[in-house]
Amino acid sequence: MKFKFNSRTRIKMPVAKLNELHELFPEHKCFYEFRTSFQDEAGLVMTSISNTYSRKGIYYFKVVDKNKYFLAKIKYGI
Mean pLDDT, residues 24-30 taken together: 76
Where are the domains positioned within the chain?
A: 10-73
Q: pLDDT value at position 48?
A: 85
pLDDT band at 65 (very low <50, low <70, confident <90, very high): confident
What's the one-letter identity of residue 17? K
CB 18 within 8 A of CB 35: yes
What's the one-letter identity of residue 36? T
Find the angle CA(28)-CA(34)-CA(40) to the nearest 5 degrees: 125
pLDDT at 55 over 60: yes
pLDDT at 72 over 60: yes
